[in-house]
Every structure is written in structure tokens, then in C-alpha cells.
Structure 1
Amino acid sequence: MHDADSPGRTRRSIVKAVGVGAAAGLAGCIGGGDGGSGDGGDGGDGNTETTGSGEKALMWEYGFPNEEGAEPVWKNAFKANYEERVGQEIEIGRFAYEDLRQKYLTGARTGNPDAIEGVLSHLTEYVKAGHLESLDGWAENLEHYDGFVESALDACRYKGKLYGLPYEGNGRAFIVRKDILDELGQDVPQTTSEMHEVGRMINKEVDGVTAFHNCTKDGSVRAFQEFMSSVYQFTDSLYVPDGDSWKLDIEAEPLGKILDDYYYQIYAADNPVGNPDDLGTGWQTNDPGYINGNYAFIECGTWLQGWTSGENINDTETAKDILNNKTRVAHIPRSEGGEKGTFLEIKPVMVNSHSDQTDKGKSAVAAWTAPDTLKAMAEDSPGKAMTPVHEGIESTIEDDDWAPFTEVFKTGSALEKITWGPVRQEFYPLMQEVAYGRTDPYKAGDQLHSALKGLESDL
């Protein structure tokens, strides 16, 4: 669910992790039939119960834990829920996400699989390729539809139409060393100006700790995600639909403020909040750096909590102490004029529009996202349920200092369904020019605004 560059948390190994700490880790069949209505607008019964006649439905996924020898609690719950709905078993195919994506983009028109799980960027590609069944009309009648977090549902829409249901998500939060703040008699910063002031105090008075780190590596996925966390404090969408095109939905001044607050003040100012020697680094410095005690503040996701061992961690006991006893989670500090907001990640389940049994595909989506199935997911893979997408399950977070992740999650916005490559290409060089002190942040904000506006018709 996190930055594709970063390791995240292993599944079976984190069963014991929540609240006590553990190790870290992320994130083909033949078939016929070219039918399927493709309109998804029949408004039928959300329970989608069908008879057990016809071919078994096929689902592709990479969500279930795959460690051998362990009881597949979550997988079994899904299969049982589906069979109860349909009166028939379901076949499951498992592929790594990149293989799953490629096989589906090239083979969905065969009609298989009937349903598919994936990451949010897949949904965009599949919709544009004409491979997804709209769930509007059907989903609203689903017995558990009203319990979804609205922002998570919104993330599964493309130009207003619903093409998937969410089952997992997280939002980026501000991770802080509460022991350092307590020692200095300071509260958790809520604004960027407060973060700069407290950060400079930390740099002056606390030996061996740099106040803040964020990612400035050229091309880093995490660096762009951190930037978007700040963008979503000023707008719910960087671009909004405008007929058959897109329209930029932010002014130049907020972009300049973000570049000033999170890049110039951090690295290029006379009294920087961060360490200029960290310029050009990514998550490989950010996440382990906090865990190892190098930084007082970072932005990160839920996977950080259980990361207490591995080649990047200096000492497991130190890591556990920092994460379990010395960390507090909060909303990311906001630039002047901004409101609570952050970058949101969601994983959806979807239905193949080319299937000749889309009713069974919908039953698979219903079974996968049903509260009982999600509760089994929480039991089997606690890290996936720290910030639930549905009110029918409770967060697996047991530590009160980490509990704010659930509130941060609710303020998140997911990336719009556009082609992000050109946007990222405009961001990276200007971000680095500001961070290295080569360009005034507000001048760079004007340049970035002009460049992003010029992309409107190409997304």
C-alpha cells in the first residue's frame, strides 16, 4: 500500500507485530467468452446471489498472505463468503502485481478472470483500456455499501463512475519523536512555521538528531507522494475533469508555499531544518533513519510501526524502543492557508467487463469486501487493517500514540485518474532546484503552475 520503492511489511511475519513490533516487508489461465454487458447499470440486488450453475468464477489477486504452512484465515473467509453467495466455489489465480497487471491488460478480453484485485493505478489503466465493469447501481444496493469510508470509495471512481470497491488503505502522517518534544517542552507542530521553529530548536539542543527529513531523490515515488500530501492540503484534486479533458485546480501561490516550507526551509535556508547532506536521498534514508534515531520528524505510512529488523536497521531493541515508546502520530503540518489533508493509498477489487458471468465477478467483489472477510484480513494480516476502509472492522492499532493514523486516513485524497508521468517530470527538477538553493521557491511555484497548466489537454 505504500511507496512502490519501499519495503513495507511482510504479511505472516507481522501477525505479532501490531503493538509489539516486528520485521518489515512491502508493496494465468485460459478462458473464453467475450460477453458481458459492460454497463453495470441494472441496479440489481447488491447481494448478487446466483445459482451454482455454469463455469466457476476466476479471481486474480496478490493480496492474500503467501507464507507456506500457515492457516489461510483470510483466504478461507473470502472463499466461504463467496460460496455462500453463489452456491459454488471460486478459483483463485495468484500473480505478482506487475505480472497480474500485464496479463490483465493483454488478456482481459478473453473473459478471464471474472474479478481482479490490485492497486489503484491498475484501476485507471484498466478503465482506460475498457476492461472494467461499472459497479454503479449494483454497489449501492450491497448490504455493506454504506459502511465504506467515503474518500476510499471516491478513490475507486473514474470521472464519477464507480469501478471498484476498496478493501485496504492508508494515509501519510507526521511521525514524531514525542520524547524529544517532551524534553524540550514543545507540542507537536501543526503548521509548517511551527515545525520550522521547533525543528531548529531540536537541531540546536539535541545531539545526534536532525529535526526533519523528506525525500528529494530525482524520480523517487516517495518524493512525489510527499509533495502531493501537501498539495491535498489546498485542494482535493490537483486536476478536475473538464469535459473530455482536465483542468488544474490549484494556484501558483500554494505551490510556492509548499516548495518554500518543505524544500527551501528544510535544506537551502541559512538555518535549515534538515541536513543538506541528505539532499538527493529517498525512502532508504527516510524510514530507517527515523527508526535508527537519526530524525525527530518524518512523513510515513502505517508500515513503519512493525519495522524493527533488517539490513537497514542498526539495532532491533533500539528500533522497538523508538517505535513503541517514543513515537507519536499526527496530521502533517500545514502551510499557511492549507487544511488537514494527505496522500491516500487504496487497493480495490474490480470486475472484468468482458466476462460472460459478471454477476459472479460482482459476488467476488462483494465477498472480498464484506465485513466478515475484512475482519479475517485483520486477523491474518494486521498491517492491512490499521486504517480500515470500512466501519464494520476496527483498527488493529493498539497503541494510542499511533491511533491518529485512523483520523489522518479520513482526510486523505487519492491520486486522480490521469497520466502522472508528465506531472512528475515537471515536479522533480523544480523541487531539486529549490532544495539545492538554486531557485526561489515562489518563482519555482510559478514555473510549476505554468507547466502543470500546460499539461491539461494531455492527461
Structure 2
Amino acid sequence: MTMERRSVLKKLGVAGAVGGLAGCMSVQQQDGGSTTAGGDGGDGGSENESSGEGNASTASTSSGPAGTAQIWYSLPDPEIPARKEAMSRFNESSQHAVEGSDISDMRKKTTSAIPAGQGPQTFEWAHDWTGDYSQRGFLVDQSDQVSVSLDQFTEAAANACRFEGSLYGLPHTAETVGLVYNTDIVDEAPESVADMKSVMEEHHDPGNNKYGLAFPFTEGYFISAWMQAFGGYIFDNSKEAKLGIDKPEAIEGAQFAVDNFAPYMPNDPAYEPQASAFASGNTAFAFNGPWYLATLNDKGVNYEVTKLPTPEGGEPTPYTGITIWYFAKAMEEGGADAAAARKFIEWYVTNEEMARTRAEEQGSIPVLTSIIDEGDLPENVQGFAEAVEQGRPLPAHPQVNKVWDPLKAGLAKAFNGKDVEKAMNTAAKEIRSNWE
């Protein structure tokens, strides 16, 4: 993953509810049968699902020739009905149409299909792929084609769609990791890690499947808050030493996480078992993001969301992301299908009604300033919004892609009791070697 964040960030779900990591999610076949992918007839693969509802012939208000765009996304099961409804609404009201596919491994699928001319007109993912994918020719600049103003979005959201002066997509939500707590177990949100630990110590009883914390410890996106809590950083292109995981401040943060969080977690630090533990209703706290709330709602867990607690002598600094609809290479030649994709994207990202619904039902953080300025976000969304304020944008530089896997291996060693400094030094050595 550019950050298993989409394999973790946003598109992750719980075992049995979403089938694992976002990048490993099972494909849901929608009503209406499968479709091919890509403007040229597609790859004919099985990882496709048609919207099955509405088509271009029902439209009457849009100008220009009708077109049908292929759109790819990767969603937890509970979010798929809302996406199908959105596609249906667009198809029923537009001369254009979209056909959607839920993709189990978005990175693998896009990196194989797009170069072969079989990719979609647009796909949905976090902004951190802009640098890598634009340099590989997977994206196209649509600066002169879009008809919406970026001034409608927060500054962070508007900037996330650009790379080196080109516009490669449009944004619709923000996301980060916050603190989710079970209100049947926890009386009030802890302000400090010390307060949080007192609750974890009291509740943690792994012999009876009760845990203090569910935390995907080995995922860089999730542990970023703590590795960057004491002045450290994971990757910063503005610094002479871009990689920071072996710097003393980052090692201090990783050690803090090992000492204060690992003892209260299930034994497997991967996303799925951690997410499952909290969704079972037997865990006090979870570090997770807005994408997780649909699963919790589906499971009937009573919860609230707040910003991350403060460690003594530091400030939690999580990575933050912007989810965007990318302008994929299949739009390069223009035409009706590209116009259909552009119209869908513009409609989707500026629709205030749908943005509010996503906030209320899925915990999504809007990036439309018109909604944010109203100041009436749902309480749980407000908690994530405050966590966003704690953070820093996820790097979009192409080199960051080679950080996550070695870092993940190093964090696994640290979680399992190996020397933290040695684990980070080994990971850093591998990353720098991969950069050469």
C-alpha cells in the first residue's frame, strides 16, 4: 500500500463484516450482473459490480453526448448500499451514467489494469497516491476541464488533489485516526494516556476475551500519532533526511506505544483481529478512523469518538488523509465516457445533502466549507474532526511508498518484544536500500 492505510485507511473493515483489510476486501457482486472495466471494453475480470440501476437513457437535463463511466472503489460492506444509491441517483438524473466496481485490492488492480488500457475513468482512494501515480502516468490533469471551484473545499482538501501544479482529482472527505471508546465500559473520554491506561488496566482480561485496546499497531498510518508525538517524523520530503523512523524522537514514540498500548491489546497486531476485538463489544478503546463506524453501527456497538489522548511530554500527531475521486488515464482522450466520469465526480463532491448523510451514517468528515462552517457536525464526526486538527497530511511523495512494508515489519518485531531501536534501524536500512 502506499500506506496500507487504504489497505487500512478508510476502506478497512471487521472480519465477517468487511472481510479484512481494505486492500484485501472481498468483491460484492451487485444486482444487475458484472460489468467490464475501462472505457475500451474493460478487462473482463470478476472484480466488478454494476450499479444495476438507472442508465443514461433516463436522463434529460445534462448537455453533451451521453457516456458511461467505469468507477472503482473499495468499501466495507455496510457502506456499499449508500454508494449504489448514489450511483443510481446520478444515473436517473443525468444524461450520463456510471457503472461501479468494488475492488478487493485497489493498488494491485490499478497498477495492472491502467497500463494495459483496461482501467476505469475514475477510482476512489486517499490522496497519498497522487505523486506516485501521476509520475507513472496513471492519472491525467483535468485543470482545464473541471467546472467546480476548489474554493468550495478546505485548503487541505484542495491541496491534496494537486501535485506539481496539476489537478488529478476532486476531494470529498477527510480522515484520520481518533480514539473510539465503548460507552458500556468507559464512563467518559480520557484526556491523557495516563487516564486511558487506568481504564485499560481495570478492564483488560484476555482470558475472558476482554481487552483494554484495539490498535492496528503495525500499520504506519495508525502508529504515526505516537511515532510523531515527541518531535519525530516518519517521512518528510522537506527535510534533508527524508526518512525519520530511526531518529531518536521517532524511536521514543515507538517505544512509548510498545510500553503503554501493546500490553492491553490482542496478541495479533494486524488490522482485522484488532478491529474485530472492539466490534465484539468486549474492548474498552480502539484507535481507528471514520471508515470503521459503519461496521460498529452494523454490529450494534455503543460508542463515542474523541481526539487522541495526550502523552506526558508530547502531542499525538496522526497522519491525516483526504479521500478523492482520481482522474484516471482512461479520461485522457476525452469523449463521452470521460465527460460522464467528470460529471459524476463534480456532482458527488459538491452534493451537500449526500455529504451530510455520509457524516451522519458513516462518520465521514466533510471537506465542503459550506458544511464545516455551519458547525453542526454529528458528535462522533466532530471527534474525528478534532483529531484531524491534531495531525499532519499523509505524504504524497513517490518515495514514501517504499517506507510502509519495512516499517510494518519493524513494528511487528517491536510489538513482539524485540529491541525497538534495533527494529527501526533495520527497517530504515532496508528502506534506504530500496530507494537506491
1:156 aligns with 2:161: yes
3-state SS of the aligned residue for 2:223? Answer: helix
Matching of residue 344 in structure 1 with residue 320 in structure 2: yes
**1:397-421 alpha-carbon deviations (Å, 9 max, x no partner):** 9863564123324544234343556
Q: Which residue of 2 aligns with 1:18?
A: none
CA contact (8 A) 1:237 1:416 kept: no
Given the superposition, is the C-alpha separation of residues 396 and 58 from structure 1 closer, same or farther in structure 2, using an over 3 Å criterion?
A: farther
**Partner of 2:407 in structure 1?**
427
Question: Could you say if the C-alpha distance between residues 58 and 181 of structure 1 is closer, same or farther in structure 2, counting changes exceeding 3 Å?
Answer: closer
Question: Is this contact kept in 2: 1:302–1:383, CA < 8 A?
Answer: no
- TM-score w.r.t. structure 1 length? 0.65
Give the one of 220, 231, 242 matched to 1:247: 242
Amino acid at match of 2:394: A
> Match of 1:331?
307
Q: Secondary structure at the match of 2:379?
A: coil
State which drifts further: 173-182 or 350-359.
350-359
Deviations, residues 76-114 of structure 1 (Å, cap 9, x unaligned): 444477x5xxxxx32434333358766755565788878
Q: Give the aligned partner of residue 408 of structure 1.
A: 387
With over 3 angstroms needed to count, the CA separation of the structure-2 counterparts of 1:130 and 1:197, relative to structure 1, is same
Superposition TM-score, scaled by structure 2 size: 0.68
Aligned counterparts of 2:109 and 2:404: Cα–Cα separation in 1: 26
CA RMSD of aligned residues (A): 4.8
Distance 1:421 1:202, change over 3 A: same
Aligned to 1:19: none
- Residue 368 of structure 1 corresponds to 345
Q: CA offsets, 1:390-439, max 9 Å, x none? A: 23447999863564123324544234343556423432343233333331
The Cα shift of 1:279 comes to 2.4
Counterpart code for 2:320: L
Figure out how many residues of one structure are paired with residues of the other and give that number. Answer: 387
The answer on whether the counterparts of 2:226 and 2:256 sit within 8 Å (CA) in structure 1 is no
The one-letter code of the counterpart of 1:4 is S
Query: Bigger relative contact order, structure 1 or 2, given CA contacts below 8 A and separation 6+?
Result: 1
The 1:198–1:137 alpha-carbon spacing in structure 2 relative to 1, beyond 3 Å, is farther
1:256 matched to 2:232? The reply is no
| Residue 181 (structure 2) aligned to one of 176, 183, 191 | 176
Structure 1: state its 5+ residue gaps.
Answer: 11-22, 33-49, 84-88, 311-318
- Per-residue deviation, residues 329-380 of structure 1 (Å, max 9, x unmatched): 1222344554353233443223345622279847743642445535236558
In structure 1, the residue matched to 2:87 is 75
CA positional deviation for 1:116: 0.7
Describe the shift of the 1:193–1:358 C-alpha distance in structure 2 as closer, same or farther (beyond 3 A).
Answer: farther
**Counterpart in 1 of 2:100?**
94
Matches within 5 A, 1:200-239: 200-203=201-204, 209-216=210-217, 223-231=219-227, 233=229, 238-239=234-235
Match of 1:298? 286
Partner of 1:41: none
Alignment-derived partner of residue 188 in structure 1: 189
Matched-pair contact (CA < 8 Å) for 2:67–2:338: no
Q: Which residue of 2 aligns with 1:86?
A: none
> What SS class does the counterpart of residue 261 from structure 1 fall into?
helix
Correspondence 1:286 to 2:274: yes
Between 60-69 and 334-343, report the one with greater CA deviation.
60-69
Q: Over alpha carbons, which structure has the higher Rg?
A: 1
Is 1:167 the counterpart of 2:146? The answer is no
Q: Where in structure 2 are the equivalents of 1:106-185 lying within 5 Å?
A: 108=114, 115-120=121-126, 123-136=130-143, 142-159=147-164, 161-178=166-183, 180-182=185-187
Alignment partners' CA distance in 2, 1:177 and 1:433: 29
3-state DSSP of counterpart to 1:341: coil
Distance in 1 between the 2:386 and 2:270 partners? Answer: 26
Question: In structure 1, how many angstroms separate the alpha carbons of the residues matched to 2:278 and 2:84?
Answer: 33
